[in-house]
Chains A and B, each alone.
Chain A
Amino acid sequence: MTTLFVLDVPENISVVTVAVEDPAVTVGRRGHYHEISADGPIVIDRRATGCRHAVWYSCIAGVGRDGRITQHDKNALRVDPV
């Protein structure tokens, strides 16, 4: 299980919409956060999000302890189960 929290601000919306294009990924809400989760990895393509660099590299509010970021670069964000 991997869980990723993303704060609900306008700049981050495309991160969430791109994440849920994967049918294995679900998105819920916890207060002002989007809670993105999956049994396996979560992979988000940077170009698909159209995020500027500063937004892309600061879009993550939290990663549950059962997941770990294994890639966060100009191409993609990837969170793998531990």
Chain B
Amino acid sequence: MTEQDHRVRGVDHVAFPTFDPAATVRFYRDVLGFPVVHSICAAGWGPENHPDFIHFFFDIGNDDRIAFFYYFGSSPEVGGPVGEKGDAYARFGADVPEYFVRSRHLAIHVDSEHDLLEYRRRLDASSWPVEMQIQHETIESIYTHDPNGYMFEITRAMRPVTPQEDDDANLTIDALLDVVAGPEPTFGKLLARKAELIVERVPV
């Protein structure tokens, strides 16, 4: 239960390494039209033989930003051997399942289907066409991979989230914490615990 006031104001920036700044600028600035809003040109310093680098930012709306680091003289092997799957930051063997590889991603919000389809149009005309367009429970998303292999999602809400869905989410989390505190958590145990919490807490 959260009793503390909630003061944060969204994403300031999320940052990733890139080894291909030219394609990264093409993708974010030229294809998607995200303005370049900030950059830092820094000489390397510090104990770790830090390379000279450029840190550059694109506006993703709402004054939030996606940022990249380009390190002069470095190549993808700096993060370990090249794998069969993954991206510029994280590489995985061929045996790592796709759901896991795709689990960490950034999704950027748009307000309407019209806007979603406009970004679909921009991507489809580029070297990074939309790979999937999916309606989930209450959102619709388009996906592609950016030039660095990062999974990139743009999403819209098909309807507003209702207060009862927020309440339900809190019941889910309380049930989940109970189930993972016990042995061998399963989806079945979660649904059973959640049913108990509904009966305990929700008035008839």
Contact surface of A with B, Cβ cutoff 8 Å: 3, 5, 7-11, 29-33, 52, 54-55, 58, 60-65, 68-69
Q: Is the CB of B198 within 8 A of A52?
A: no
Q: Is the CB of A5 within 8 A of B135?
A: no
User: Which residue in chain B gives the minimum CB-CB distance to A54?
Assistant: B136
Looking at B13-21, B51-59, B149-157, B186-194, the stretch in contact with chain A turns out to be B186-194
Bound-state CA distance A31–B198 (Å) is 9
Q: Is the CB of A9 within 8 A of B188?
A: no
Instruction: Say if the beta carbon of B164 comes within 8 Å of chain A.
Output: yes
Bound-state CA distance A64–B198 (Å) is 10
User: Which residue in chain B gives the minimum CB-CB distance to A7?
Assistant: B168
Checking B134, B138, B194 against A11 with a beta-carbon cut-off of 8 angstroms, the contacting residue is B138
Checking A32, A33, A69 against B188 with a beta-carbon cut-off of 8 angstroms, the contacting residue is A69
| B contact residues, total (Cβ < 8 Å) | 25
Main secondary structure of the interface of B (DSSP, over half): helix
Given known pairs A60-B191, A61-B194, A63-B188, the reply for A9 and B199 (CB within 8 Å) is no
What are 27 pairs between A and B in contact, CB < 8 Å?
Answer: A7-B165, A7-B168, A8-B164, A9-B138, A9-B162, A9-B164, A11-B137, A30-B202, A31-B202, A32-B168, A32-B202, A33-B202, A54-B136, A58-B137, A61-B168, A61-B171, A61-B191, A62-B175, A62-B191, A62-B192, A62-B194, A62-B195, A63-B191, A64-B192, A64-B195, A65-B196, A69-B191
Question: Which residues in A have their C-beta under 8 angstroms from that of B135?
Answer: 52, 54
Bound-state CA distance A60–B105 (Å) is 26
Q: Is the CB of A9 within 8 A of B192?
A: no
Question: Which residues in B have their C-beta under 8 angstroms from that of A11?
Answer: 137-138
Bound-state CA distance A17–B135 (Å) is 22
Bound-state CA distance A10–B188 (Å) is 24
Q: In the complex, how many angstroms separate the beta carbon of A65 from the nearest chain B beta carbon?
A: 5
User: Which residue in chain A gives the minimum CB-CB distance to B203?
Assistant: A31
Pairs A-B, 7 closest by C-beta atoms: A62-B195, A32-B164, A31-B202, A62-B194, A54-B136, A63-B191, A64-B195
User: Which residue in chain A gives the minimum CB-CB distance to B172?
Assistant: A61
